[in-house]
Amino acid sequence: MIQPTPEYKITLDGKDLTSKIAPRLVSLSVSESRGDDADMLDIVLDDEKGDLAIPSRGQLLQVSFGWSDTGLFDKGTFTVDEVEHSGAPDILTIRARSASMTKDMGERREKSWHGQTIGAIVRTIAGRHGLKPAIADALAKIAIAHIDQTHESDMSFLTRLAKRYDAVMNVKQSNLLFMPIGHGTSLSGKTLDSLDIKRTSGDQHRYHISEREKYAGVRAHYHGTGRKKRESVVIGGENNHSIKVLPETYATEADARAAATAEYKRTQRSQATLSYTLALGRPDLYPEIPVYVSGFKPEIDALPWLAKKVTHTIADGGYTTQLELEVNGDPVTDRHRSHFRKGGK
């Protein structure tokens, strides 16, 4: 039986360079992140013969990954951002970032937003950069009484707004995403299939759980009415010994409640993390896909996981996919629910 082999395709400004690169390839990797970080492409080439041309910054690289028996999966277009030549032995390293992440999004602006919904804000910024807005309905309808964008780029501003509402803000395939974390849908709105991983599917993992980030609740302050200078809301428990207090004072109670809720959800997710490397890469995997695992410890198997970052790597003749997962909820209260859902006894 013929075993499938890893395949890839690389084009530079539309010119197919795969056959030229193949004999020189040391490693090829694409990292896809859920957050505001741009997707990154890294190519490391052996330049022992000294005949490789150094690409110019700004040139476009398009990359596809796959297997000989299933074909290639498009991983996007990237703009060359950094190039390094080192030796001996001579090595050419190329780093590129998602081409959809325009330079203009990093330029600082001055803007005050009054009486706008999140949907209106995201659509305005998307239009400014020639991007298609993809906003969850529940977030699009949220009204923002007032928020300032002071000497702040559109990327930084949207990141801050997303953090307040526990949302994903990113640019993917010319779409400006603004979705709740764990939304479980693709760009086209289809529900994502969950991924079931067995311990035997790979050979490297790291599980970590910490009490340091465990809070009973989160407190957020907002400007009070009448004689009260400040008031506050608490999301979660009222245990004064383990309450996380947000440093910012918000304009309204609604803003404070949203920020406290988002931070509380983040603290629950960050308590438990799991990194895992699939021995056989999966080019169809990307951040936000729900993941269930088996064959580890019962405490690990029982948790519902969510992909935070996915890295595809071809090197040494093999193709692996590394997953960085976080638990979607409280590791303690979710353990029983997840185990029951999967048919545990």
| HSE toward the beta carbon, residue 142, CA cutoff 13 A | 22
CA trace torsion 241, 243, 244, 248 (10° rounding): -120
Amino acid identity at 19: S
Identify whether 342 is part of a domain. Answer: no
Angle, vertex CA 308, rays to CA 304 and CA 313, nearest 5 = 115
Say yes or no: 323 and 204 in one domain.
yes
Range of the domain at 281: 195-210+271-327
Say yes or no: 116 and 152 in one domain.
yes
Give the total number of structural domains in the chain: 4
Least confident of 29-43, 184-198, 231-245: 184-198
**CATH classification of the domain holding 201:** 2.40.30.150
In contact, 103 and 313? CB cutoff 8 Å:
no
Identify whether 73 is part of a domain. Answer: yes
Say yes or no: 135 and 46 in one domain.
no
Say yes or no: 305 and 203 in one domain.
yes
Identify whether 81 is part of a domain. Answer: yes
Say yes or no: 158 and 226 in one domain.
no
Say yes or no: 133 and 234 in one domain.
no
Say yes or no: 203 and 292 in one domain.
yes
CA neighbor of 174 nearest in space, from 102, 109, 104: 102
Encoded tokens for 21: 């690169």
Q: Determine the pLDDT at residue 251.
A: 82
Q: Express as a percent the part of the chain with pLDDT over 70.
A: 87
Encoded tokens for 86: 């080192």
Q: Determine the pLDDT at residue 339.
A: 39
Encoded tokens for 275: 């990194």
Say yes or no: 303 and 317 in one domain.
yes
pLDDT at 342 over 70: no
Q: Determine the pLDDT at residue 28.
A: 96
pLDDT band per the 50, 70, 90 thresholds, residue 134:
confident
Identify whether 339 is part of a domain. Answer: no
pLDDT band per the 50, 70, 90 thresholds, residue 332:
very low
- First vs last C-alpha separation in the chain: 40
Q: Determine the pLDDT at residue 338.
A: 41
Identify whether 186 is part of a domain. Answer: no
Say yes or no: 258 and 319 in one domain.
no
Q: How far is CA 97 from CA 29, 30, 120, 130, 283, in A?
A: 12, 10, 27, 18, 18
CA trace torsion 204, 195, 198, 295 (10° rounding): 100
CA neighbor of 293 nearest in space, from 153, 168, 190, 195: 195
Say yes or no: 150 and 73 in one domain.
no
In angstroms, rounded to a whole number, what is the distance separating the alpha carbons of residues 345 and 339? Answer: 8
Say yes or no: 86 and 29 in one domain.
yes
Q: Per-residue pLDDT tens for 29-63? A: 999 887 656 789 999 999 998 888 899 988 999 99
In contact, 265 and 181? CB cutoff 8 Å:
yes
Identify whether 180 is part of a domain. Answer: no
pLDDT at 89 over 50: yes
Least confident of 157-161, 185-189, 204-208, 240-244: 185-189
**CATH classification of the domain holding 22:** 2.30.300.10
In contact, 31 and 310? CB cutoff 8 Å:
yes
Encoded tokens for 33: 């992140």
Encoded tokens for 13: 């400004």
Q: Determine the pLDDT at residue 194.
A: 83
Q: Express as a percent the part of the chain with pLDDT over 90.
A: 34
Domain end marker among 54, 69, 98:
98
Domain end marker among 245, 265, 285:
265
pLDDT at 336 over 60: no
| Ramachandran angles phi, psi of 215, nearest 5° | -120, 145
In contact, 75 and 30? CB cutoff 8 Å:
yes
Identify whether 47 is part of a domain. Answer: yes
Identify whether 340 is part of a domain. Answer: no
pLDDT at 299 over 60: yes
Q: Determine the pLDDT at residue 36.
A: 59
Q: Determine the pLDDT at residue 313.
A: 95
Say yes or no: 77 and 159 in one domain.
no
Mean of pLDDT values over 69-79: 89
